[in-house]
Amino acid sequence: MINLIDKLHKTNNLDYDELVFILDHIEESGKDYLIEKAHETRMKIYGDKVYMRGLIEFTNHCKRGCKYCGINASNKNVERYRLTLENILQCCDVGYNLGYRTFVLQGGEDDYYLDNMIVGVITEIKDKYPDVAVTLSIGEKSYESYEKYYKAGADRYLLRHETASRKLFERIHTNSNYDNRMECLWNLKKIGYQVGAGFMVGIPTQAKEDLAKDILFLKELEPEMVGIGPFIPHRDTIYKYEEGGTLRDTITIIALTRLFLPYSLLPATTALGTIHPLGREQGIKAGANVVMPNLSPTKVREKYSLYDGKICTGDEAAECRSCIENRIVSSGFSIDMSRGDNIKWRTRI
């Protein structure tokens, strides 16, 4: 086991069998060693910095039927909301004054926002704040739409692949297509975005082999960002009685990902902080180097309910910033409020 982890640390790669072997056989001491190596790798490349992104959840309307997701189209118990362009810009103003230089605009797949509206939001933000990076996370769109947003100034796009196993993908989604999701990711790369892929750990029926495929898919795609969080059941979904992903499993996968993709920007997600009070700190110690405090207006936060028990729904943006900053600093890391582009991407352009 230690030999394999050392090999991964040195070469940033393993084959499928080696990776499945690790996932199948790793014991607690092996996990600690893996986390140590992931930490070394992150320190070598990004140092102790943790990059801050301001997250704006601007719509919880969604046309998709992801079976695990609390805001999927079939959930009639969700009180739906949409932020106006003005609301979104107000969130950016608050965020900018708090020092954020990346805004992440996330939402369900909501066709109410036509391309020209999305382009309008991006243009307004970039005109007002030329020094910020805009990240979109609004699901699957056509090549042409992605291109329009990019030309308007969007810098990054988060689209978790959810799972690199076709069978599992089809089991956990209703009206989504595996090939299309994958194609979207390759399209985003081609257009020039800094791309974020990712998946949940502990989704019902997920096997170790599925996780191995996820990591090897990431290795092939080489995204600049990777979002990994535990699956957490939501009361209005068919998975409400299932167990969620565990902290230990999730940080093990984060550490593996740091070693496979040493340059990636890896968030310690809100979901990780939801399943354990020190989840985000542990994620950061295992190689994560991004956090995304919530800038959405507090009155809508509870409504963007992907899973039960989501933390930070009551805090104002400023409180979120100071809470998470204290956590980062007391874990021995430092805050970085800059745009925080992927280092490799920065040297490529």
**Smaller CB distance to ligand SAM: residue 48 or 140?**
140
**According to the binding rule CB under 6 A, does residue 234 interact with ligand SAM?**
yes
**Smaller CB distance to ligand FES: residue 159 or 251?**
159
| Helix (H) / strand (E) containing 156 | strand 156-158
Q: For residue 239, what are its two tokens?
A: 């998975």
Min dist CB 162 to ligand FES, Å, is 10
In Å, how far are 151, 170, 172, 220, 259 from 165, measured between CA atoms? 32, 9, 11, 14, 21
Contacting ligand FES (CB under 6 A), which of 14, 35, 55, 62? Answer: 62
Per DSSP, the three-state class of 27 is: coil
Q: Which does 72 bind (CB under 5 to 8 A by kind): ligand FES, ligand SAM, none?
A: ligand FES
Distance in angstroms (rounded) separating the CA atoms of residues 205 and 197: 21
Identify any residues that bridge with 265 across adjacent strands, giving them in sequence order. 225
Which residue, 318, 292, 305, is CA-closest to 94?
A: 318
**According to the binding rule CB under 6 A, does residue 69 interact with ligand FES?**
yes
Distance in angstroms (rounded) separating the CA atoms of residues 169 and 160: 12
**According to the binding rule CB under 6 A, does residue 113 interact with ligand SAM?**
no
Distance in angstroms (rounded) separating the CA atoms of residues 202 and 192: 32
**According to the binding rule CB under 6 A, does residue 64 interact with ligand FES?**
yes
Identity of the residue numbered 72: N
**Smaller CB distance to ligand FES: residue 158 or 164?**
158
**According to the binding rule CB under 6 A, does residue 141 interact with ligand SAM?**
no
Question: Could you tell me how far CA 185 lies from the centroid of its own chain?
Answer: 14
Per DSSP, the three-state class of 222 is: coil
**According to the binding rule CB under 6 A, does residue 108 interact with ligand SAM?**
yes
**According to the binding rule CB under 6 A, does residue 71 interact with ligand FES?**
yes
**According to the binding rule CB under 6 A, does residue 149 interact with ligand SAM?**
no
Min dist CB 129 to ligand SAM, Å, is 23
Q: Which does 225 bind (CB under 5 to 8 A by kind): ligand FES, ligand SAM, none?
A: none
Tell me, by CB under 6 A, how many residues bind ligand SAM.
Answer: 19
Residue 66 near residue 293, CB atoms below 8 Å: no
**Smaller CB distance to ligand SAM: residue 11 or 177?**
177
**Smaller CB distance to ligand FES: residue 34 or 200?**
200
Distance in angstroms (rounded) separating the CA atoms of residues 199 and 213: 11
Q: State which of positions 263-302 bind ligand SAM (CB under 6 A).
A: 271
Min dist CB 231 to ligand SAM, Å, is 5
Which residue, 153, 227, 160, is CA-closest to 193?
A: 153
**Smaller CB distance to ligand SAM: residue 108 or 223?**
108
**DSSP, residue by residue, 249-266:** HHHHHHHHHHHHSTT-B-
Q: Which residues bind ligand FES (CB under 6 A)?
A: 62, 64, 66, 69, 71-72, 108-109
Residues that bind ligand SAM (CB under 6 A): 68-69, 106, 108-109, 137-139, 159-160, 162, 200, 229, 231-232, 234, 271, 306-307
